[in-house]
Amino acid sequence: MILHNIHSPKDLKVLPKKSLPSLASEIRSKIIEVVGNNGGHLASNLGVVELTIALHRVFNSPEDSIVWDVSHQCYPHKLLTGRAEDFPSMRLKDGISGFTKIRESNHDYFDAGHASSSISSALGLLTAWKIQGRNDKVVAVIGDGALTGGMAFEGLSHAGQLAENLIVVVNDNQMSIDHNVGSFSSYLSRLTFTSTYQGFRHRVDHIVDRIPYFNRHLGKLIFRFKRGIKGLFLTNNLFVDLGFEYVGPLDGHDMEAMIRVFEKAKRIPRPVVIHVVTKKGKGYSPAENNPSAFHGVGPFNTSDGKVEKFDSLSFTECFSNKLLELGEKNDKIAAVTAAMSKGTGLDAFSRKFPNRFFDVGIAEEHAVTFAGGLSAGGMIPIVAIYSTFIQRSVDQIIEDIALQNRHCIIVLDRAGAVPNDGETHQGIFDIGLLRPVPNVKFLSPATKRDMELCLDYGVNQCNCPVVIRWPKASCPTETESFSSAPIEGRGVFVSCDEYAPSIGVQYSEVKRRRMKKVLFVCTGSIFSETLTAARSLLLDGIVADIYTLRFLKPFDEKHFIELARNYDGIVIIEDAVKIGGVAEYIEGLVNKSEDGNKPKVKVIAFPDRFVSNGNRSQILESAGLSINDICNSARDSLK
């Protein structure tokens, strides 16, 4: 095996040219095998195998830096930079990350996970090097989908003025996570005369440079001439207008052609854009035929590409079904997403109501402000974005939604613990970021029925901004309590009487009065673990009732204090960061109450650190939020 002998890019550089196609084939096989076992980003990585080999063949990483935008396409890069032996552990607890990671390798300059940041990061790194006298190259690899993000344009605009040794490789695969939308994707496809223009331009430059004495004066004339030629061949090349040299489009699977172009670009003392066209899922037919399904995928059967399915309904599927029902009843409902229609459950709505569905590309800020405009025009927009990505839109939520009190529902999928994607994708900051914003009502459903009621409440009973969060998980067992309609500010009280029969516990009212009583207060996304803990405690002779925070804001303080005084201990469980969260607020509320018989309060939430790889239960355990941790906190509150 060739890959077995590649421990760094230096080993790649001495490899015979004829061995490169075999190496590419081995890399693809390894990626398919590991992603089949662990899940991960398959299609995007299969599409950049030849591109990655060409980059490491030409550039001298880590002296030269290769910056991967989003970095979910960095698997070939990891295999070529000394991590092949650890690759089977990718995305597992204590294993390597599915994204670039500074602590893993000196070939990774940045921890990445969100789109559109590579050009800005690369430009900052390059500028620092220049100030320190270094003359190395920095290569930013960015997909056409990530170029729909405004930050990428900000970086390009600045780089064209400032950078000398910056090379931007635009990986054009006609896909982001869902099919690319907007004018920029089609714009890239129109840049077909560019190679003709570039070839002519560089031949003229070479001739002029060889003419002694006259080259300076002749250069000005030639510059005007070239502008005219550019006008003939390339009427609107954005990159050239921003100050870049432009080459492309190139076949992103032709290693020899890319190596030749990269070698030339390496010698150009100006910023360069190299446009390569690749095929997502290259070399694995299930991923080639359905690249969006194999973008981020769970474990699957590598022989036929069949993905594992779960019998129980997920929160996302529940949302999707309820939104279809609401959309049929109300033609003012519109749905907005940022390149995540499948992941957020909007795919069915997009097919049923295409004129009321809007995928804005990887542009979360625009998605929120666009929704504010829809609301101003009389529509009821529902913006579906992952919790981790809504972080980009905090200013827009404050200024363009909340300040103007727009009736807009923002639904946050993948809130709380997010399996296997590591630090960059956890949904643990949304409560602390958005709960303090005036005019916003913030809901946290715990079950399928609860989700339906909360969504119906946001659409039909509000005329203000509403945020609803839920986890990447299956809907837990329903209890009768969740059938009641929302009362503003109040949670859902689940008595142990509801679940005691299901675990075979029998007790008299007299016995119950003598038992120690604890109240679990939890966000909806962690109700399943809380319910399991409550059942366990009941078997140990401790009455554990549950109060789920259907409303994170507003919060009916008087109602809660009346409820809380009936318990010996209270445990507040929040699947978000403790600092600035709702748990701290409720703890303070109980402690400052004038009730002389105050219960002891324990708070468990995500600590002040970032979260590593692992499945849901492993993440919760590492954060002190496991079922055992909940039980132990309850016992501590009763001491």
392 is catalytic: yes
Q: Which residue has the higher pLDDT, 206 or 610?
A: 610
Which of residues 177 and 166 earns the better pLDDT score? Answer: 166
In terms of domains, do 455 and 499 share one? no
Burial class (CB in 10 A: 0-12, 13-18, 19+), 606: buried
**Confidence check: pLDDT of 598 > 50:** yes
Question: Torsion-angle region of residue 106: left (phi > 0), alpha (psi -120 to 50) or beta?
Answer: alpha
**In a 3-state reduction of DSSP, which class is residue 245?**
strand
The pLDDT, as a whole number, for residue 607 is 95
| 466-469 vs 409-413, strand pairing mode | parallel
We report the CATH number of the domain holding residue 401 as 3.40.50.970
With cut-offs at 50, 70 and 90, classify the pLDDT of residue 310.
Answer: low
Segment 157-178 shows an average pLDDT of 79
- pLDDT for 189: 42
Cα dihedral value 628, 632, 637, 639, nearest 10: 160
- Predicted confidence at residue 455, as pLDDT, reads 97
Confidence class for position 138, pLDDT limits 50, 70, 90: very high
Model pLDDT, residue 303 = 72
Query: What pLDDT, on a 0 to 100 scale, did the predictor assign at position 191?
Result: 46
pLDDT reported for residue 613:
85
> Which string of DSSP letters, residue by residue, matches 227-242?
HHHHHHH-TT-HHHHT
Higher pLDDT, 147 or 407: 407
Instruction: Determine the average pLDDT of the residues in 143-172.
Output: 87
Q: Are residues 385 and 521 in the same domain?
A: no
Q: Select the more confidently predicted residue: 330 or 597.
A: 330
Position 192 scores a pLDDT of 37
Flag whether 305 is in a domain. no
In a domain, 347, yes or no: yes
**Of the candidates 10, 9, 8, 22, which has an alpha carbon nearest to the alpha carbon of residue 50?**
22
Kindly state whether residue 450 falls inside one of the protein's structural domains.
Answer: yes
Q: From the CB of residue 589, how many other CB atoms can be counted at a distance below 10 Å? A: 15
Residue type, 224: R
Count other Cβ atoms within 10 Å, centred on residue 212. Answer: 6
DSSP count for the chain of H helices, then E strands: 27, 21
In this prediction, residue 580 has a pLDDT band, given cuts at 50, 70 and 90, of very high
- Residues 365 and 265 both lie in one domain: no
Range of the domain at 9: 3-191+237-285
Are the CB atoms for 270 and 217 separated by under 8 Å? no
- Across residues 565-569, what is the average pLDDT? 91
pLDDT-derived band at 127, boundaries 50, 70, 90: very high
Q: Do 426 and 323 fall within a single domain?
A: yes
Reported as a single tens digit per residue, the pLDDT across 367-422 is 999 999 999 999 999 999 999 999 999 999 999 999 999 999 999 999 999 998 88
Q: What is the pLDDT of residues 332-379, one digit of tens each?
A: 999 999 988 999 999 999 999 999 999 998 999 999 999 999 999 999
Residue 177 is predicted with a pLDDT of 45
The answer to the question of residue 229 being in a domain is no
Instruction: Please give the mean pLDDT across all residues of the chain.
Output: 87
Residue 222, phi-psi category: left (phi > 0), alpha (psi -120 to 50), beta (remainder): alpha
Radius of gyration in angstroms for the set of CA atoms belonging to the chain, rounded to a whole number: 28
Average pLDDT over residues 42-69: 94
**pLDDT higher than threshold 50 for residue 520:** yes
Q: What percent of the chain has pLDDT over 90?
A: 64
User: Do residues 258 and 380 share a domain?
Assistant: no
pLDDT at 193: 37
Please identify which of the residues 245, 364, 365, 574 carries the catalytic annotation. Answer: 364
Would you state the pLDDT for residue 225? 54
**pLDDT over 70 at 89, yes or no:** yes
The answer as to whether 386 is a domain residue is yes
| Residue 406 appears among annotated catalytic residues | no
Catalytic choice (57, 83, 91, 392): 392
* Residues 543 and 629 both lie in one domain: yes
- Please, which pLDDT band fits residue 329 given cuts at 50, 70 and 90? very high
Instruction: For residue 327, give the amino acid letter.
Output: G
Same domain, yes or no, for 339 and 276? no
In terms of domains, do 274 and 332 share one? no
Catalogue the long-range contacts made by 236-240 (C-beta closer than 8 Å, 24 or more residues apart).
236/187, 237/191, 237/194, 238/187, 239/156, 239/273
**215 within 8 A of 222, measured Cβ to Cβ:** no
CB 37 within 8 A of CB 26: no
274 and 320 co-located in one domain: no
For residue 426, the model assigns a pLDDT of 93
Q: Is 280 a catalytic residue?
A: yes
In the predicted structure, residue 511 carries a pLDDT above the cut 80:
no
Kindly write down the DSSP assignment for every residue of 364-410, as one continuous string.
HHHHHHHHHHHHHTT-EEEEEEEHHHHGGGHHHIIIIIITTT---EE
Q: Where are the beta strands (DSSP E) in 193-312?
A: 245-251, 272-277, 296-297, 300-301, 306-307
Specify the pLDDT at position 218.
54
Q: Quick check: is 303 in a domain? A: no
- Per annotation, catalytic residue among 83, 137, 280, 449: 280
Please report whether residue 222 resides in a domain.
no
Q: Is 321 found in the same domain as 277?
A: no
Rounded-to-integer distance, Cα 368 and Cα 372, Å: 6
Residue 212: cis peptide before it, omega within 30 degrees of 0? no
Residue 505 belongs to a domain with what CATH number?
Answer: 3.40.50.920
Question: Bigger pLDDT: 324 or 612?
Answer: 324
Same domain, 248 and 319: no
Q: Which residue has the tokens 């009362």?
A: 487
Distance CA 473, CA 271 (A): 45
Residue 185: pLDDT band with limits 50, 70, 90: very low
Looking at 469, 484, 508, which one is the last position of a domain?
469
Work out how many domains the chain is built from and give that number: 3
Is it the case that residue 287 has pLDDT exceeding 70?
Answer: yes
Q: Are 602 and 637 in contact (CB under 8 A)?
A: yes
Higher model confidence: residue 230 or residue 516?
A: 516
> Helix (H, G, I), strand (E, B), or coil: what is residue 307?
strand
Mean pLDDT, range 469-497, rounded to an integer: 91
b/e map of 289-327 (b: 16 or more CB within 10 Å)? eebbbbbbbeebebeebeeeeeeeebbbbbbbebbbebb
Contact call for residues 523 and 549 (beta carbons, < 8 A): yes
Tell me the one-letter amino acid at 93: K
Please check whether residue 508 lies inside any domain of the structure. Answer: yes
Q: Do 627 and 557 share a structural domain?
A: yes
Task: Examine the pLDDT at 320 and tell me if it is beyond 50.
Answer: yes
